[in-house]
A and B are shown apart, each in its own frame.
Chain A
Amino acid sequence: MSAPTTPAPLNPDGSRRTFMKQAGGFLGLALAPPFISQAERLTALSKKVEGVSTISLKVNGAVRAIRAEPRVTLLDALREYLDLTGSKKGCDHGQCGACTVLVDGKRVNSCLTLAVMTQGKEITTIEGLAKGEELHPMQAAFLKHDGFQCGYCTPGQIMSAVACVQEGHAGSADEVREWMSGNLCRCSAYPNITAAILEAKTQMG
């Protein structure tokens, strides 16, 4: 099975995903203004948002613009508009953690976050963790410890785990279990997830 590493491995079952990724990349490029330094506060012009409008999101360091309604969640913006399909939709109601991303360094459930409300903030997704070919220590630890079976919860687990360590809440196995309780794993890989986090913690500096 393929772990959520970056760059994404070629899709073995055909090229649709790959095509979509390229199209998305192309479209994203076409729409994105060269550089937007958007303060958190919206400009007077866009203070009221009705219907489809341009929403600029800074994802993994790059500003990208989408045309979407205010009801579009950050999760849907990432998956359906920006083709960043690493973040997963499990419950869509804040109950499972599969959609966890970092906003300004803090872990949140992107399914209960409106994209329009994250403009001007730094969004980090699973696609933004690795440095080129080099996995983030948390990704490497999940691989080493088999911190997954089906892998569906894994991007959310890893994003949450990175934040958990950064917050200083990974002091012991018990502490990790408590502070990772917002990420459910249907395959119950919990012992391995906990082991991976405790190891990655020592390497995250």
Chain B
Amino acid sequence: MNNFSYIQADKAKEATTAKRDDKSAAFIAGGTTLLDLMKLNVENHDQLIDVNMLPFRGIEMTKNGLRIGALERMSDVGEHPLVVQNFPAVSQSLLLAASAQLRNMASIGGNVLQRTRCGYFRDTAFPCNKREPGTGCPAIEGDNRNLAILGTSDACIATSYPGDLSVALVALDAVLTLENAKGKQREVPITKFYLLPGSTPQKETVLEDDELIVAVTIPQTAAAQKSMYLKVRERTSYAYALASAAVGLEVQGGVIRAAKVALGGVGAQPWRSPEAEKMLVGKAPSEAVFRAAAEAALRGAKPREHNAFKVEMAQNTLVRALSEVAA
């Protein structure tokens, strides 16, 4: 790992201005994405700004929903009673992720900003449009088993966000609070936070250089209350998703009134599926209805040589998740 200078920021402004004034600086929270990538020379920063002293803490119910400070740790959030009781999909997405050690270290803000596990991206011996724009994408003709089938482009087919939490957050319409070096805050729905690769796969989110994630707020709804996160992977534990589904249903009088559906492991970004939701709302829950929704969700899929299995796997994952929450 190349050397860097380290500062500990006491105030948000100190962190954001330091970042604004040094294009090569990075914030560090848990460090589990950042240091991993710096050791691989995939990322190089001459300054790390430690944000752990900032007051972006707390897990509390507000009038807009559950507000979680960006520096709260995955383990604490995943096991928090308010999260477990009101947002099961969020709790499950956290507790099925990574390992107990990593969950103790990793922050919510850092999780949302974790980066792809595409093997070419992580190995500087290969070209990669995301790591070095314009050099090409070896994954398209190479090993693409773990990569995306929805929302990809000719420039990049990575699951840019390979994790779990944001899949649940995207399904449940969470909102991120961001703050810049002027001290100005803005709210961005997480469904608008991630960018599809297009011709600029290096630009992954709408976060500006000088912006921090302060908190994430999840609206409290009936569908969130009846939600779940189902993760399918190579082994039972401690692996990224091959396919996952975050779903929430509000069923009244035998009819689905509201449906929230997002997929993980298959999209270039956490994949909300309005197509699937449209097939669900107004119908009586049944396996046939869920199957139709799953087919709608994967209709635009563009599988590659090694990941064609993901189409059926994602559909089955979605059907199973919907059946379980409807039961």
Q: What count of chain B residues pass the 8 Å CB interface test? A: 32
Do A49 and B100 touch across chains, with their CB atoms under 8 A apart?
A: no
Do B31 and A114 touch across chains, with their CB atoms under 8 A apart?
A: yes
Stretch at the interface among A5-13, A105-113, A197-205: A105-113
| Residues in chain B near residue A81, CB distance under 8 A | none
| Residues in chain A near residue B2, CB distance under 8 A | 71
Do A70 and B48 touch across chains, with their CB atoms under 8 A apart?
A: yes
Do A177 and B100 touch across chains, with their CB atoms under 8 A apart?
A: no
Q: Which of B8, B32, B53, B99 has the most CB of A within 10 A?
A: B99
Give Cα distance in the complex from A170 to B36, angstroms.
Answer: 29
Do B6 and A113 touch across chains, with their CB atoms under 8 A apart?
A: no
| Residues in chain A near residue B238, CB distance under 8 A | 181-182
Supposing A41-B53, A112-B31 touch, asked if A182 and B98 sit within 8 A by C-beta, the answer is yes
- Output the least CB separation between A59 and chain B (Å): 18
Stretch at the interface among A17-25, A93-101, A127-135, A136-144: A93-101
Give Cα distance in the complex from A109 to B39, angstroms.
Answer: 15
| Residues in chain B near residue A107, CB distance under 8 A | 100-101, 104
Do A164 and B100 touch across chains, with their CB atoms under 8 A apart?
A: yes
Do A112 and B105 touch across chains, with their CB atoms under 8 A apart?
A: yes
Do B6 and A49 touch across chains, with their CB atoms under 8 A apart?
A: yes
- Output the least CB separation between B140 and chain A (Å): 26
Do B102 and A70 touch across chains, with their CB atoms under 8 A apart?
A: no
- B1-33 residues with Cβ-Cβ distance < 8 A to A are 1-8, 10, 28, 30-32
| Chain B residue, CB-CB nearest to A184 | B238
Do A182 and B102 touch across chains, with their CB atoms under 8 A apart?
A: yes
Do A70 and B5 touch across chains, with their CB atoms under 8 A apart?
A: yes
| Chain A residue, CB-CB nearest to B1 | A71
Instruction: Tell me, yes or no, whether B35 is within 8 Å of chain A by CB.
Output: yes
Instruction: Tell me, yes or no, whether A92 is within 8 Å of chain B by CB.
Output: yes
| Residues in chain A near residue B5, CB distance under 8 A | 48-51, 70
Instruction: Tell me, yes or no, whether B225 is within 8 Å of chain A by CB.
Output: no
| Residues in chain B near residue A117, CB distance under 8 A | 6, 28, 31, 50, 52
- B70-117 residues with Cβ-Cβ distance < 8 A to A are 75, 98-102, 104-105
Give Cα distance in the complex from A48 to B28, angstroms.
Answer: 14
Do A93 and B6 touch across chains, with their CB atoms under 8 A apart?
A: no
11 A-B contact pairs sorted by A residue (CB < 8 Å): A41-B10, A42-B8, A49-B7, A70-B5, A73-B35, A107-B100, A109-B101, A112-B102, A113-B31, A114-B28, A178-B236
Closest 5 CB pairs of A and B: A182-B99, A181-B237, A70-B6, A181-B238, A50-B5
| Chain B residues at the A interface, C-beta cutoff of 8 Å | 1-8, 10, 28, 30-32, 35-36, 39-40, 48, 50, 52-53, 75, 98-102, 104-105, 236-238
